[in-house]
Amino acid sequence: MPSMIIVLMGPAGSGKTTLASALGEWIEENQEYSVGYVNLDPGARILPYKPDFDVREWFTIDKIMEKEGLGPNGAMIRASELLAERRRDLRKIIRGMKKEVVIIDTPGQSEIFIFRKAGPKITDALKFIATTIGVYLVDPTITSLISELATSLFMGLIIQLRLDIPVVPAITKVDLVKLDLGETFYIGLEKVRELAEQELKGTLQEVIPRIIDVMIDYMPPIRIVEVSAKTGQGLEELYQLIYETYCSCGDLT
């Protein structure tokens, strides 16, 4: 039975699957824990890891489209309902895994997983098995980093409250962009606030710092790690943040 479950979440294309693989390998090699992999994305094509459980054994987006005559949108929503329905089976499967750490790769579209019923029901089921930590991925390549970072961090807070698990934010794909967030692989909320005031314009310049103030008051003193699944940068720091969160959860239970 696993003692830690890591759930990777983030918008479409933020690199959940690639990071699942890289983080799992890093943990196996450097922490000498056995790692189990669970794929919950029924629309996944190629996985860079060998899943110990794959939701595609139950259903795939393609098959739902074909069988129920749905389009891709409808099929994704249907898949999220099916996933919520089978959460007890999933709990049994993960509980039976002879692995110390289990990494869960979630569906491609985060709005479907997080804001429909599947997300909260699945995390509720997982919490019965082991301490469950979320990692929320922020993709710095798709938009202005600072506003994206701030809104993503706010999303991280919403997810934390909605799924009732601690969430560690991580900026992915840092091999593709030059970030200038500080000297280390970490960035604190105060630094994000400072950058927002310097770099944003108009209303965003006023709104974002105020939202960050709310986060500073209600999130545990988090650091945001910068990580690259490709070069391995930041994997150690990400694991450390997850592990610290794991330990502080342990204290609470």
Contact (Cβ atoms closer than 8 angstroms) between residue 139 and residue 173: yes
Residue 253 found at the interface with a second copy (CB under 8 A): no
Copy the structure tokens of residue 165.
Answer: 């698990």
Near a second copy by CB under 8 A: residue from 86, 99, 116, 223: 116
Residue 39 found at the interface with a second copy (CB under 8 A): no
Residue 117 found at the interface with a second copy (CB under 8 A): yes
Cβ 102 to a second copy shortest distance, Å? 22
Identity of the residue, 93 or 216, whose beta carbon is nearer to a second copy in the bound complex:
216
Q: Which of 15, 14, 33 is nearest to 24 (CA)?
A: 33
d(CA 91, CA 126): 6
Cβ 2 to a second copy shortest distance, Å? 26
Residue 142 found at the interface with a second copy (CB under 8 A): yes
d(CA 166, CA 243): 12
Residue 216 found at the interface with a second copy (CB under 8 A): no
Contacts to a second copy from residues 42-101, by CB under 8 A: 43-45, 61-62, 70-77
Residue 158 found at the interface with a second copy (CB under 8 A): yes
Q: Which of 36, 58, 59, 40 is nearest to 49 (CA)?
A: 36
- The residues of the shown chain that bind a second copy, judged by CB under 8 A, are 11-13, 41, 43-45, 61-62, 70-77, 108-112, 115-117, 142-143, 147-148, 151, 154, 157-158, 161-162, 202-204, 206-207, 210-211, 214, 217-218
